[in-house]
């Protein structure tokens, strides 16, 4: 079982930066490798994958819409999403998610929500023009 707690959201103007954090606490498990993902959902839209990182080795993947602006990273049991040059279209509730996985399971083709059993409560990011 995994508990995920996000923080770091807020209201900013276009061009600003924010850093989201996701603190993970896991009960003992024989499996030690996970894919950690950031997803976002804005009103009236489906939840979409933004970025992912594999805990063993730190390989990363990004949605095309955020490449070059967002950076996912990890430090022990916390995953970060550094968001630079924010745009109004980045406005959404941002969620952290986790799944036990092999490294290939962290690629964007495996970002379907149903594949991630553990989710945080979300943190709101609002970007004004």
Q: Over the stretch 52-109, which tens digit does the pLDDT of each residue have?
A: 999 998 899 999 999 999 999 999 899 999 999 999 999 999 999 999 999 999 999 9
Question: Is the pLDDT confidence value at 116 over 90?
Answer: yes
Q: Over the stretch 49-64, which tens digit does the pLDDT of each residue have?
A: 999 999 998 899 999 9
Interatomic CA distance for residues 30 and 33, integer angstroms: 10
Place of tokens 């290939």: 104
CA 29 to chain centre: 22
Q: Over the stretch 3-40, which tens digit does the pLDDT of each residue have?
A: 999 999 999 999 999 999 999 998 777 778 999 999 99
Counting beta carbons within 10 angstroms of the beta carbon of residue 26, is it exposed (0 to 12), middle (13 to 18) or buried (19 or more)?
middle
Contact 93, 39 (CB under 8 A): no
Q: pLDDT value at position 32?
A: 80
3-state secondary structure of 64: coil
């Amino acid at each position: 079982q995994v508990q995920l707690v996000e923080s770091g959201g807020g209201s900013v103007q276009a061009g600003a930066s924010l850093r989201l954090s996701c603190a993970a606490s896991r009960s003992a498990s024989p499996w030690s490798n996970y894919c950690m993902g950031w997803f976002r959902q804005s009103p009236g839209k489906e939840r979409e994958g933004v970025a992912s990182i594999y805990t063993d080795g730190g390989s990363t993947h990004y949605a095309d819409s955020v490449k070059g602006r967002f950076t996912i990273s990890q430090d022990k049991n916390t995953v970060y999403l550094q968001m630079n040059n924010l745009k109004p279209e980045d406005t959404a509730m941002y969620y952290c998610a986790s799944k036990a996985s092999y490294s290939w399971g962290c690629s964007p083709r495996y970002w379907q929500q149903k594949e991630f059993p553990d989710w945080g409560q979300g943190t709101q990011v609002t970007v004004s023009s």
